[in-house]
Amino acid sequence: MKKLATLFQDSYNELKHVRTVTTIAMFASIGIILGSLTVQIGDFIKIGFSSIANQFVYYLFGPATGCFYGGALDILKYLIKPTGAFFPGWTVGAMTAGVLYGCFFYKRKLTIVRVLAAELCVSVVCNMILGTLWLDMMYGKGFFVLLPMRVIKNLVMWPVNSFLFYTMTMAMEQTGIFRLIRKSA
């Protein structure tokens, strides 16, 4: 439990650095741009890759910073391009994803197994359970009616998202980009 508290405290301390905030802003802008390339499949399924830019923030700066970043970015995306009514549940889900990814990645050796586990955990908790609950609350569709198509979509995207994040992170680690970001922050 002490390790978890230290992890959150270290992550919170990251927010005290101006370079951290500017780096987060850069990744947020990349995430917003990638979010505009989202493909809508029906009324309740979206496929996009903006989460990769977000995962870099969680990897570099941890769960506390990830929680703040996820919530702020969700609200910012809504202000830039509103899609329907604002619902705070989506913000809670984004913040939860930031905490979960941050706990899996921050100050830990990145392995494909760790990435697969983190992606599965976030997919189940945030996308399948919370996301389906939010859709049920917003539109009155049955939770168990929406759940099967959301489970299938997330199971299909699980290895794709994991592989993309892992390979891009390893490439950026090998080129030294993340080392520069960590050193300057």
Rounded CA gap, 26 and 181, in Å? 12
pLDDT tens per residue across span 22-36: 999 999 999 888 877
**Alpha helix segments (H runs only) across the chain:** 2-14, 18-35, 51-80, 88-105, 112-122, 132-139, 143-175, 177-184
Helices 51-80 and 143-175, interaxial angle, to 10°? 120
pTM of the predicted model as reported, rounded to 2 decimal places: 0.90
pLDDT at 9 over 80: yes
pLDDT digits (tens, 9 = 90+) for 111-134: 999 999 999 999 999 999 999 999
Quick check: 185 pLDDT over 60? no
Could you read off the pLDDT of 143-161 as tens digits, one per residue? 999 999 999 989 998 999 9
The pLDDT, as a whole number, for residue 120 is 97
Mean pLDDT of 97-122: 96
Q: How many CB atoms lie within 10 A of CB 66?
A: 31
164: which residues sit within 8 A by CB, 6+ positions away? Answer: 49, 52
* Mean pLDDT score, 36-58: 79
Contacts with 101 (C-beta within 8 Å, 6 or more apart), sequence order: 54, 55, 58, 59, 63, 66, 118, 122
